[in-house]
Amino acid sequence: MALWDGLLFGMLLQLSVGPVCLAILQRSIRCGFSSAWKMIAGVALVDAFYMAGAIGGLSLLLQVAWVKQVVLIGGAVILAWFGVNSMRSKAMDETGEDEREGSEMREPSSFLYGLSLTLANPLTILFWSGVFGSMMATQHLPSLSRVLLFAGGCLLSTLLFLGFVALLGNAVRQYLVPKWLTRLNRLVGICFIAFALILLQKGLTV
């Protein structure tokens, strides 16, 4: 069944932890499961948008070298910006324990954060364009309905896996003191910048 195939394929993809997964974990620890789930909704919406674009032929445009280069370098710059912002976060070092529960109010919109972070990650659009572009070209799934079911399975895997990550973060947040939250912010920031450097290198060698 195409839906099941998409679910299994998506779960295999999720094993490759990227900046979005780390950001979900960070948001869940800082603000709780509800906030992280809103972020996951933004991630899934962008994934659906990219999948629809890939099915509609976006993969052809991304085969143009300069377009791919712009996507990679632009994504690298934005991810680096997210990384710097994360490293500068104080994570309540100078606040009391009572203010932790209200931290979500001081955070940017979780949904918009998930939306913008996923839009800024060029590996997402390049990956889905490659997957669905190959399917449409080889007619491995010739029926449009089966292609859509496969895409639905991939989206379901995103919701399930990232939902589990959010639950994990929510479970451990009560045990982390502020200094560890600050270190988490810095670690996530470093990872974002590392991903950005990798993307920049790929963009410069296209």
Joined together, the tokens standing for residue 129 give 């364009």
Residue 101 has pLDDT above 60, yes or no: no
* Residues 33, 184 contacting (CB under 8 angstroms): no
pLDDT digits (tens, 9 = 90+) for 14-35: 666 578 888 899 899 988 999 9
Going from N- to C-terminal start, the domains of the chain cover 20-91+107-204
pTM of the full predicted structure? 0.79
Integer angstrom CA distances of residue 82 from 1, 24, 61, 189: 39, 13, 27, 7
DSSP assignment letter at 168 = H
Share in percent of the chain as helix, strand, coil (round to 5): 85, 0, 15
Q: Which of 72, 73, 68 lies closest to 58, judged by CA?
A: 68
Over pLDDT 70: what percentage of the chain? 82
Q: What is the pLDDT of residue 139?
A: 54
